[in-house]
Chain A
Amino acid sequence: MAKFTIDEKEIDSGDETMPLLWYIRDVVGKHGTHFGCGQGLCGACSVILNGVSVRSCQLTVDGLDGAKITTINGISESGGNAVQQAWLEEKVPQCGYCQSGQIISATALLEKNPNPSDEDIDAAMSGNICRCGTYPRIKKAIKRAAQGGKK
Chain B
Amino acid sequence: MNSFKVSRRDFLKITGLTAASSSFILGFDLFAQAKDPKSFSPDIFVEITRENIVKIIAHRSEMGTGIRSSLPAVVADELEADWSKVEIIQGYGDKNLGSQNTDGSRSIRRFFDRMRTAGALTGYMLEMAASKRLGVPQSECIRKNTQVIHQKSGRSIPFGDLIMIAAKLPVPDVKKLKFKDPSKWNLIGKQFKNYDMENIIKGEATFGHDIKIDGMLYAAIARPPVVRGKVKSYNQKEVEAMSGVSGSIVLPPPKGSVSFQALGGVAVLANNTWNAFSAKKALKVEWDNGPNGDFDSDEYQKYLSAEVMKKGEVKRKRGDYYATTKSGESYKQSYEAPFLTHLQMEPVVATAEFKDGMCVVWSPTQNPQAVQDAVAGALGIEPKEVIAQVTLLGGGFGRKGKPDYCVEAALLSKQTGKPVQVVWTREDDVKHSYYHAMGAMHLEASFELDKTLPTGLLMRTAFPGISSTFQEGALIDFPTILGMGFTDMPYHIDNIQCEVGKAPAHVRIGWLRSVANIQNVFALASFVDELAVRSKMDPVMFNEQLIGPDRVESKVPDGSEDPNYGESWKKFPLDTSRLKAVLKNTADKFDWNRKLPKGHGKGICVYRSFLTYIAVAAEVSVDSQGNLTLHRFDIGCDCGLIVDPDRVHAQMEGSVVFGISLALMGEMTVKDGAVVQSNFHDAPVVRINEIAPEVNVHLFSNKNIPSGVGEPGVPPVAPAICNAIYDACGVRVRKLPIRKTSLKG
Q: Knowing that A84-B201, A97-B207, A129-B685 are A-B contacts, what are 7 other residue pairs whose CB atoms are under 8 Å apart, sorted by A's residue number?
A: A22-B274, A29-B212, A35-B273, A93-B197, A131-B395, A135-B657, A136-B695
Give the residues in chain A near B204, CB-CB below 8 Å.
Answer: 32, 73
Closest chain A residue, CB of each to CB of B207: A97
The answer to whether B688 has its CB under 8 Å from any CB of chain A is: yes
Q: When the two chains form the complex, which single residue of B197, B203, B688 contacts A71, counting CB atoms closer than 8 Å?
A: B203
Query: Residue among B202, B425, B651, B689 with the most chain A CB within 10 A?
Result: B202
Check B198 against A34 for contact (C-beta < 8 Å): no
Check A34 against B426 for contact (C-beta < 8 Å): no
Closest chain B residue, CB of each to CB of A94: B64
CA distance A123 to B203 in the complex (A): 24
The answer to whether B680 has its CB under 8 Å from any CB of chain A is: yes
Check B655 against A98 for contact (C-beta < 8 Å): no
Closest chain A residue, CB of each to CB of B349: A35
> Which one, B103-111, B120-128, B259-267, B339-347, is touching chain A?
B339-347
The answer to whether B205 has its CB under 8 Å from any CB of chain A is: yes
Check B654 against A32 for contact (C-beta < 8 Å): no
Output the least CB separation between A109 and chain B (Å).
12
Check B688 against A138 for contact (C-beta < 8 Å): yes
Output the least CB separation between A57 and chain B (Å).
10
Output the least CB separation between A88 and chain B (Å).
6
16 A-B pairs within 8 Å (CB atoms) are namely A34-B394, A35-B209, A37-B426, A38-B426, A39-B426, A39-B679, A41-B679, A73-B203, A79-B201, A91-B646, A95-B63, A97-B207, A97-B344, A125-B689, A129-B680, A131-B397
Check A135 against B64 for contact (C-beta < 8 Å): no
Q: How large is the interface on A (under 10, 10 to 19, 20 to 34, 35 or more residues)?
A: 35 or more
Give the residues in chain B near A111, CB-CB below 8 Å.
Answer: none
Check A94 against B650 for contact (C-beta < 8 Å): yes
* Contact mask for chain A residues 9-40; partner B; CB cutoff 8 A; 1 contact, 0 none: 00000000011001001110111111111110
A positions within 8 Å CB-CB of B: 18-19, 22, 25-27, 29-39, 41-42, 44, 71-73, 75, 78-79, 84, 87-88, 91-100, 103, 118, 121-123, 125-139
Q: How large is the interface on B (under 10, 10 to 19, 20 to 34, 35 or more residues)?
A: 35 or more
Check B274 against A18 for contact (C-beta < 8 Å): yes
Check B274 against A96 for contact (C-beta < 8 Å): no
Closest chain A residue, CB of each to CB of B202: A79
CA distance A35 to B209 in the complex (A): 8
Check A38 against B197 for contact (C-beta < 8 Å): no
CA distance A134 to B550 in the complex (A): 36
CA distance A72 to B200 in the complex (A): 10
CA distance A39 to B682 in the complex (A): 12
Interface residues of B in 355-413 (CB under 8 A from A): 392-397
Check A95 against B209 for contact (C-beta < 8 Å): no
Output the least CB separation between A96 and chain B (Å).
3
Q: When the two chains form the complex, which single residue of A39, A126, A131 contacts B681, counting CB atoms closer than 8 Å?
A: A39
Check B653 against A36 for contact (C-beta < 8 Å): no
Check B689 against A126 for contact (C-beta < 8 Å): yes
Interface residues of B in 660-707 (CB under 8 A from A): 679-681, 685-689, 691, 693, 695
Give the residues in chain B near A118, CB-CB below 8 Å.
Answer: 693
Give the residues in chain A near B347, CB-CB below 8 Å.
Answer: 35-36
Check A126 against B64 for contact (C-beta < 8 Å): no
